[in-house]
Amino acid sequence: MRRLNWLPVAAVAAIAIVALATPLLPLPDPLAMDIAGRLAPPSRAHWLGQDQYGRDVLSRLLWGSRVSLGVAVLACGAAVALGTALGLAGGFLGRLAELLALRSMDIVLCFPPLLLALLVVTLLGPGAATLVPLLALLYLPGFVRVVYAGVLSVRSQDYAEAMRALGATRLRIMTRTILPNIGGPILVQFSLTMASAIVLESGLSFLGLGVVPPAPSWGLMIGAARSTMAQAPLLLLWPCLALSLTILAMNALCDALRDAVDPQRAPRPAGLRGTLAPHAPSLAPDGDALLALRGLTVEIDTPAGAIRPVRDVSLRLSPGETLALVGESGSGKSLTGLAAMGLLPPAARVVAGDIRVDGRDLRRLDETALRRLRGTAMAMVFQDPLSSLNPVHRIGAQIGEAVRAHHRLPARAVRERAVGLLRRVGIPDPERRARSFAHELSGGMRQRAMIAMAIANDPRLLIADEPTTALDTTVQAQILELISGLKRQGGMAILFITHSLPVVAEIADTLAVMYAGEIVEQGAAAALFARPLHPYTAALLASVPGEDGALPRSIPGTVPAPHDLPPGCRFAPRCAHRRDACEAAHPPLAPVGDDRLTRCIRWRDFAGTRPSAETAA
């Protein structure tokens, strides 16, 4: 709130204080008539004059503010509370809650507001007590729709997914991650609604559908002043002025609040503009494997029919081991990682195979058991740290959330743990950085913060999905060194997903190369780097500059879509080594000795010499 513009706050506070304190002020009775003083101009006794019945205009204006503001505040408060609850439930829970929330609002919107007002006033009679539920009902659909749209937008963000990956409950994600991010739009909607409610209350009172005379209200004052406009124009000015100034102050307040709660609107501190300070196999049976995938197949329903972007994938990862899952975009490696976390998107499902994490069959666990495993047994680091970190929470608070997802600790202990984790991942001045927002950190520091969140509960398995792709080369090396260090310190197993083989040359123990949804080559990293037995692996290795100064060669063509796979070898259309036999039948992933697997029928031809990285044009 340090960035809050206090001017509109003071203006709204002054209006509210005056309205609340009106009964205490030495004002004439707002209902007392004085026919002799009818339409009298401002005087010492009546600062704003007297109306057509000789009543004191200032007194009626202030007492009227209580009615107009009270109706607007109560109606908007009810609408925002109910609308936020319905929008959150509809957007986050989906299905029946979504249907009920949206369709019921559609029904309300079917009625023209004035017609609805007439109906309600006819049923309940005019008066402030009728106006409150009426206005709340009229404004409810706006709040439901704003909140619902906000939830849909935020829940698909990486930082919401990251909280799921850390094992946070649905309620906690809803209240701590989603709600703060849609606070801005709700405040803007609230400001518009408050202004509109004050005007509508005045309008309905003006039409005789609102506050009942002789009770004072701004709408009634405007209506009454209209008939005496020629003789006493000031009587129209005072309530109109009060109405306009109140609406203006309300809008300015909500704009200021929106800016204050959105940290990205704050100027970036000069001291934080710099970059990060210099820093820096196995195919055996499952046994003690931390992660074991067997025949994993993922299916997604599309309008064109079901596709299988991941097919028959088997991987095994032991404690202290780093397995690099490598392949181009669209090869299915990220879906494999998400399946291993039990975080597949709603449209995707596992249709075959086993997923075991620390010996537990993920496919047999319910969401509660999965949530307990996420963050403790396994954790995930996503590609883009900026979109994976919540923009409205400080870094330390987000790491604290990850800790709280699994431990009940005092706030002080959580804060200390967050700072300790930032220190552990090599962030300088961790106490200060814990108070920073994501946009105030460099890319490397954000990724370090993401890693700190992931390791907050000492998971034994870390799945890193392209964690260095968004970073420059120097920072990439620092993050790789950090991940290697974590493995050395804690014996953590790491599944490192990347599209670039050289990135993992230093840290991977085992490699699994994926192409078009299936593993095409697998084995010890050193052996694969020294002698790839699949032309796709060779092409990936040649797609970056060689240590001997060889120029990088791109792989022509693209990974085939899952619904349009070529017959036989999936890589055949891009392979310079293909023969007729390659396209005759789909090659199996065959063992070729020394814990090595390949899906190329010509592997023996490459056993003595590396396959040419040439690819079919």
Among 253, 455, 569, 613, binds ligand SF4 (CB under 6 A): 569
Q: Is 250 among the residues that bind ligand SF4 (CB under 6 A)?
A: no
Residue with tokens 């008539």: 33
SS3 content of the chain, % helix, strand, coil (to 5): 50, 15, 35
Among 30, 83, 535, 560, binds ligand SF4 (CB under 6 A): 535
- Looking at beta carbons only, is 168 or 600 nearer to ligand SF4? 600
C-alpha atoms less than 13 angstroms from C-alpha of 339 in its C-beta half-sphere? 32
- Looking at beta carbons only, is 231 or 612 nearer to ligand SF4? 612
Contact partners, residue 293, CB within 8 Å, separation at least 6: 313, 314, 315, 316, 336, 339, 340, 353, 354, 355, 356
Beta bridge partners of 512: 325, 522
- Looking at beta carbons only, is 167 or 535 nearer to ligand SF4? 535
Using CA atoms, how far apart are residues 451 and 448, in angstroms rounded to an integer? Answer: 5
H helix and E strand count, the chain: 23, 12
Each residue 573-612 as x (binds ligand SF4 by CB under 6 A) or -, in order, gives --x-xx---x----x------------xxx----------
- Looking at beta carbons only, is 174 or 575 nearer to ligand SF4? 575
Least CB distance from residue 370 to ligand SF4, whole Å? 37
Site for ligand SF4, residues 381 to 420, rule: CB under 6 A = none
Using CA atoms, how far apart are residues 472 and 483, in angstroms rounded to an integer? Answer: 16
Measured in residues, the chain has a length of 617
Strands (E), 304-377: 305-317, 322-326, 348-357, 360-361
Site for ligand SF4, residues 19 to 58, rule: CB under 6 A = none
Q: By C-alpha distance, which of 492, 518, 486 is closest to 358?
A: 492
Q: By C-alpha distance, which of 116, 111, 113, 105 is closest to 141?
A: 105
Least CB distance from residue 606 to ligand SF4, whole Å? 9
DSSP tag of 269? P
- Looking at beta carbons only, is 225 or 539 nearer to ligand SF4? 539
Among 572, 596, 613, 615, binds ligand SF4 (CB under 6 A): 572
Query: How many residues line the site for ligand SF4 (CB under 6 A)?
Result: 13
- Looking at beta carbons only, is 404 or 599 nearer to ligand SF4? 599
- Looking at beta carbons only, is 356 or 599 nearer to ligand SF4? 599
Q: By C-alpha distance, which of 183, 97, 106, 101 is closest to 144?
A: 101
Least CB distance from residue 464 to ligand SF4, whole Å? 28
Among 62, 571, 613, 615, binds ligand SF4 (CB under 6 A): 571
Least CB distance from residue 564 to ligand SF4, whole Å? 17
Stretch near ligand SF4 under the rule CB under 6 A, chosen from 92-100, 282-290, 522-530, 570-578: 570-578
| Integer CA distances (angstroms), 481 to 154, 477, 516, in order | 32, 6, 30
Least CB distance from residue 611 to ligand SF4, whole Å? 8
Reduced to 3 states (helix: H, G, I; strand: E, B; else coil), residue 524 is strand
- Looking at beta carbons only, is 482 or 575 nearer to ligand SF4? 575
Residues that bind ligand SF4 (CB under 6 A): 534-535, 569, 571-572, 575, 577-578, 582, 587, 600-602
